[in-house]
Amino acid sequence: MHRFSFHRCLIVISLGLVTHPVNAALQPMAEAPLASDTELHCHFNRDASTDCTTTQHYTILKPNGREMLSRIDFDYAEGDTFEVISAHSTQPGAKPVALDATQIDTRTAPNPDQGFSRDKQTSLAFPNLRVGTQIRFTVREHRAAKPLVSQFHYALTFDPSAFRRDHVKARFTAERPIQWRSELFDGFTVTPSANGKTLEVEQKAPTYLNYINESSSAALQRIPRLEVGSTVDRQAYFGDFAQRYNQILAARLPAQAAAAVAAAGGLAPAEQVAALMQYINDHYRYLGDWRATERGYVPFNLAEIEQHGYGDCKDLAILLTAMLKASGIKAETAWVSRGDVAYALLIPGTNAPNHAIVRAEVDGQVWWLDPTNPVFAPGQTLPDIQDRWVLVNNAQGHVREEQIPLERPETALRLDKQVHFDKQGNGATQATITFSRLPLMQMSVDDRQQGTTATDQNLCAHFGNEISDCQITRQPTAFVVHDGYAVHATLNDQRALEKLANDYVYTDESLNGRWDGFINYRRHNQQADLYLGNPQTYDYSFTLTGAKMEKAIPGCQVRSPWYDLDLDGTRTDDGLRYHYRLSQKTRWLTHAEVASEAFGKMIDEARTCAEQVHQVVKL
């Protein structure tokens, strides 16, 4: 199972820094650098091992296609076997030339990030590649069955890519009937045999789908995919794992873990959970150990985990579960697909999850705990496991499906900012920012990974246009964070106002510029979905003094399924006071939503609302 990196800090976004995506589109098929023709045959053996033979044919269409095929790597587990059956290249107008054995190299694969393995890697390096060169190879791989796996499960997915798919043909065979489910698969024909033990898949027409110049937060929540399996029953896939997990949990806690449980024994349940999460963070690091064994979903036992002082997600999850249960808190191990995108569960097989977590019941609420993360906020679920299915293992070894809910858009940032303008348009600024929820967790991670000086500089840089003499005052962050963390800032903004003839202009980019990315998306016909992160609310108050403002703020409201905005304000004798509250209510925006008339109406209303703050200023 994989450990995904913690998302980078959203402080910049929250304080109003805006990025502008460039023109985007679907890349024309004529610009495809490579053409591909794929034939695949996988046979699922009775013992849940798999034999797959793949024949791949590429034609280089553009110069950059040559670099894409410069070296072709195949990684496989130490217990699997891999064989190059044939490989040759053909230059334009020439005969095929077999790939020399010296151009085929097998070695130990590089260790994964934060882990040990003894995987192998075979690489092909075809000589004299240029536009028009064709290469063709056939490889065969035997994948041994993983421990406790008795069923087969295989996923065939088609992400956008720079490969023009001219032809795809896949054939799946098995010793028992094949179950299959698909999504967005209209571009393929799927033909099962009469006895259900063979499934033929073929692409209907050449396809090229590659997005260019999309936003850095763009992704697709749905892609063409087909899953095949020996059953659609989750208990058949995970029941043996559930029993093994419960056997591990039945063992006595190791000495150090037992001492940590005893030390937290007098605390309230929520504080006990925080103390045990802190203990694991202090004494264990994430490190996957797959040397000389392919454990699959099976953790080390509790004594081994304590002896190592490290573990991957399943090791740390089962240790935390055991410690919570020993504390009298109901806890269960669970499997989930972690990441920004959570695909629908087609077949609840062993390739569906990629991560192990803990389901705990604390003070009548369900908490989803991930001990691999470098920060913990009691009762909060990080966005990479929100709003998706999860498979939970109970004390009897029964596996059920639940849904991890989407977080509510609670207040995550509260800003109180006072700016006093001098006669040159500079702004002496004092501000208090109160961090909660995900922005606070991200600040804690930034402090941990890069140090407080870098985080403070990042905060200062986004308080205005030309910042000087910035001083940040705050308490140290910690692994366990609680809502309501205050940061105080004093600084001078030497471009708090923009010069306009004999007057100046004040604009609040945190409010006005927030919609520019969506406007560019619509104007340039971007295609992908947009990932927004945690639903959350920003609450900002501004007091501007030392100037005479052109107009009053009548106030406004915007309501939509995606954002809510409230603005009110008062013009004073020497300035302006105003307050706005912006709630982001969803994690994702689909292309259809952003391109819709209703979304365009929301943008227009929000910009009109923000225009009330745009002021001509006399000093």
Extract the tokens encoding 318: 């089962």
Q: Among 380, 404, 428, where does a domain finish? A: 404
The whole-chain average pLDDT of the chain stands at 92
Q: Taking residues 315-325, what's their average pLDDT?
A: 98
Is the pLDDT at 25 greater than 90? The verdict is no
Q: Are residues 222 and 295 in the same domain?
A: no
More confident residue, 19 or 205: 205
The answer as to whether 2 is a domain residue is: no
Number of Cβ within 10 Å of residue 58's Cβ equals 24
The pLDDT of residue 21:
37
Q: Are residues 56 and 176 in the same domain?
A: yes
The answer as to whether 7 is a domain residue is: no
Q: Are residues 398 and 480 in the same domain?
A: no
Question: Could you report the per-residue pLDDT of 331-354, keeping only the tens digit for each?
Answer: 999 999 999 999 999 999 999 999
Q: Are residues 41 and 86 in the same domain?
A: yes
Instruction: For residues 3 and 498, give the distance between their C-alpha atoms in angstroms, rounded to a whole number.
Output: 46
Is the pLDDT at 4 greater than 90? The verdict is no
The pLDDT of residue 293:
57
Is the pLDDT at 402 greater than 60? The verdict is yes
The pLDDT of residue 20:
37
The answer as to whether 483 is a domain residue is: yes
Q: Are residues 166 and 284 in the same domain?
A: no
- Give the neighbor-by-neighbor strand order of the sheet with 427-435: 467-474, 485-493, 427-435, 411-421, 536-545, 575-584, 563-572, 556-559
Distances (CA, A) of 341 to 383, 391, 526, 570: 10, 17, 19, 43
* Among the ranges given (23-27, 148-152, 194-198), the one the predictor scored with the smallest mean pLDDT: 23-27
Q: Taking residues 29-56, what's their average pLDDT?
A: 97
Is the pLDDT at 292 greater than 80? The verdict is no
Is the pLDDT at 396 greater than 60? The verdict is yes
Is the pLDDT at 24 greater than 70? The verdict is no
Instruction: For residues 335 and 350, give the distance between their C-alpha atoms in angstroms, rounded to a whole number.
Output: 10
Q: Taking residues 529-553, what's their average pLDDT?
A: 95
Q: Taking residues 475-498, what's their average pLDDT?
A: 96
The pLDDT of residue 510:
86
The answer as to whether 316 is a domain residue is: yes
What share of the chain in percent tops pLDDT 90?
86
The pLDDT of residue 291:
67
Q: Among 404, 430, 452, where does a domain finish? A: 404
Q: Are residues 482 and 501 in the same domain?
A: yes
Q: Are residues 240 and 199 in the same domain?
A: no
Question: Could you report the per-residue pLDDT of 78-132, keeping only the tens digit for each?
Answer: 889 999 999 999 999 999 999 999 999 999 988 877 777 788 999 999 999 999 9
The answer as to whether 14 is a domain residue is: no
CB of 225 closer than 8 Å to CB of 135: no
Q: Are residues 417 and 398 in the same domain?
A: no
The pLDDT of residue 213:
85
**For position 384, which CATH number holds?**
3.10.620.30
The pLDDT of residue 511:
87
Q: Among 346, 373, 404, where does a domain finish? A: 404
Banded model confidence at residue 212, pLDDT cuts 50, 70, 90 = confident
**For position 61, which CATH number holds?**
2.60.40.3140
Instruction: For residues 480 and 213, give the distance between their C-alpha atoms in angstroms, rounded to a whole number.
Output: 39
More confident residue, 4 or 274: 274
Extract the tokens encoding 320: 């935390």
Q: How many domains does the chain have?
A: 3
Q: Taking residues 47-74, what's their average pLDDT?
A: 97
The pLDDT of residue 356:
97
The pLDDT of residue 170:
98
The answer as to whether 140 is a domain residue is: yes
Q: Are residues 458 and 374 in the same domain?
A: no
Instruction: For residues 89 and 373, give the distance between their C-alpha atoms in angstroms, rounded to a whole number.
Output: 47
More confident residue, 311 or 288: 311
Banded model confidence at residue 294, pLDDT cuts 50, 70, 90 = low
Helix (H/G/I), strand (E/B), else coil: 38: strand
Residue 42 is part of which domain span? 29-207+214-231
Sign, Cα dihedral of 268, 269, 274, 276 = positive
Model's pTM, two decimal places? Answer: 0.92
The answer as to whether 301 is a domain residue is: yes
CB of 393 closer than 8 Å to CB of 325: no
What share of the chain in percent tops pLDDT 70?
95
Q: Are residues 458 and 525 in the same domain?
A: yes
The pLDDT of residue 200:
98
The pLDDT of residue 11:
35
Is the pLDDT at 244 greater than 70? The verdict is yes
Q: Are residues 327 and 202 in the same domain?
A: no
Question: Could you report the per-residue pLDDT of 351-390, keeping only the tens digit for each?
Answer: 999 999 999 999 999 999 999 999 999 999 999 999 999 9
Banded model confidence at residue 19, pLDDT cuts 50, 70, 90 = very low
Is the pLDDT at 7 greater than 70? The verdict is no
Number of Cβ within 10 Å of residue 110's Cβ equals 10
Q: Taking residues 302-318, what's their average pLDDT?
A: 96
Q: Are residues 420 and 391 in the same domain?
A: no
The pLDDT of residue 2:
31
The answer as to whether 267 is a domain residue is: yes
